[in-house]
Amino acid sequence: MKRVAFLILLLILLVGIGINTGQIDVSNVGKFLQQNQQTILPGLDQIKVVEEESVVTDVVEKVSPSVVTISISRSRSIGSIFEIDPFDPFGSFRSPGRREPIQQDIGSGFIVSADGLIVTNKHVVSDTTAKYRVVTSDDKTFETQQIYRDPVNDLAIIKINATGLKPVTLGDSAKMKVGQRAIAIGTALGEFRNTVTVGVISGLGRGITAGSPFEGYVERLDNVIQTDAAINPGNSGGPLLNSAGQVIGVNVAVASEGQSIGFALPINLVKESLTEFNKNGGKFQRPYLGVQYKMITRDLALLNDVPEGAYVQDVVPDSPAEKAGIDSEDIITKINGQKVTEKDGGLSSIIAKSKVGDTVTLEIWREGETKEIKVTIGEYSGE
């Protein structure tokens, strides 16, 4: 950087001398600089390339120790086979199959606290019957002590028994701009650990359908970051970084319809979830209304001369819905003025964005009349 500053000052001095002596026409300064760039500033292009490369290598060196691989332990069945009966050379019998344990890398994550909290995608650890392990960049393996799955977002927090880990630095996804550099680190294809890819942020506020071929999981995600930094299955849960080495997103692999583009959840969403997690004593709260319902589409509403919304089939006893006076056969059409429609995710999508303890206003249609009912959102305590 000192060399660049010196060369720029030298350039200014030379141009000034040239103008004063009449050797350079002021109107042709731009052309002069272009023609004489290599003479005046030899190696400037090389300096620029070296600086760009050093930014990426510095980020990778800084953050890689904080990136982990998530692996799953499960068993698979080995089919039965025919074997020769040793007591009858002309006879055979079927040997029953057996189950063989396997260990497979399926995703990525990153450390957010020195005492063993790790962020990943919920779909990476979606199998509640399986056992998961965390492998650090220096090949140390830890059994997961606890997995906390966010009921609202595609996020999960894994707790391992460890100390002295190196946490990442969380950035601010609200300050992102299209075109800025994006660096992704993760276990590409569930096989190549600590793979680094580089690109730019190519879009913001996207809505996609994404998932993991390893877990057979697909989910609709809104307001995600789009990047051309290669993100492959197995990168899910890993960090998307800016040039300062700050995490600006959580990679969620590729869109089902995407071509050479990847997506990430904004890090501010993670920060909100972590705040809630810590505030509630190390757990996530799940907002709860307490109705079983079926969505009435626009076409179905027109056909039956009823409003579009959520048709209540049953009300859970002692639930917030029952306490507020919601009945079976009610149609919930709006919540706090927002229409309840299938294309926007239905009733569950709106309730999921509420917070436990919030009081919301439901607009319901009952026997041809529209009513407003206030409901205090409860916390779901089941699995």
Q: Annotate 309-351 with DSSP letters as a single string.
A: EEEEEEE-TTSHHHHHT--TT-EEEEETTEE--GGGTHHHHHH
- Mean pLDDT of all residues in 51-76: 85
CATH number of 169-279: 2.40.10.10
> Which tokens go with 284?
């996530």
CATH number of 287-379: 2.30.42.10
Asked if 123 is an active-site residue, the reply is yes
C-alpha distances out from residue 348 to 5, 288, 322, Å: 58, 9, 17
Could you say which of 212, 236, 273, 354 is catalytic?
Answer: 236
Could you say which of 105, 154, 212, 330 is catalytic?
Answer: 154
pLDDT score recorded for residue 223: 77
User: Which pLDDT tens digit goes with each residue over 299-318?
Assistant: 888 888 899 999 998 888 88
Separation between Cα atoms, residue 251 and residue 267, nearest integer Å: 10
pLDDT score recorded for residue 330: 93
pLDDT score recorded for residue 195: 87
Q: How many CA atoms lie within 13 A of 47 on its CB side?
A: 11
Percent of the chain with pLDDT over 70: 72
- Tell me which of 8-22, 57-71, 209-223 is least confident: 209-223
pLDDT score recorded for residue 161: 92
Separation between Cα atoms, residue 357 and residue 335, nearest integer Å: 15
Could you say which of 108, 123, 173, 354 is catalytic?
Answer: 123
Separation between Cα atoms, residue 49 and residue 53, nearest integer Å: 6
Name which residue leads in pLDDT, 78 or 350: 350
pLDDT score recorded for residue 254: 65
Separation between Cα atoms, residue 362 and residue 368, nearest integer Å: 16
- Mean pLDDT of all residues in 109-130: 90
Residue 196 pLDDT exceeds 70: yes
Domain with CATH 2.30.42.10 in the chain: 287-379
Helix (H) or strand (E) holding 102: strand 98-113
Separation between Cα atoms, residue 372 and residue 43, nearest integer Å: 72
- Tell me which of 26-30, 221-225, 286-290 is least confident: 26-30
194 CB-near residues (< 8 Å, 6+ apart): 64, 67, 137, 185, 186, 187
User: Which pLDDT tens digit goes with each residue over 248-295?
Assistant: 999 986 655 556 688 888 999 888 888 878 877 777 777 888 888 888
Mean pLDDT, the chain, rounded, equals 79
pLDDT score recorded for residue 153: 77
Asked if 314 is an active-site residue, the reply is no
Domain with CATH 2.40.10.10 in the chain: 169-279
- Tell me which of 2-11, 112-121, 233-242 is least confident: 2-11
Residue 214 pLDDT exceeds 50: no
Eight-class DSSP state of 24: S
pLDDT category, 184, cuts 50, 70, 90? very high
52 CB-near residues (< 8 Å, 6+ apart): none
Asked if 236 is an active-site residue, the reply is yes
C-alpha distances out from residue 101 to 55, 251, 310, Å: 42, 29, 45
pTM of the model: 0.63
pLDDT score recorded for residue 215: 46
Length of the chain, please? 383
Q: Annotate 198-247 with DSSP letters as a single string.
A: EEEEEEEEEEEEEEETTTTEEEEEEEEEEE-S---TT-TT-EEE-TTSEE
Residue 383 pLDDT exceeds 50: no
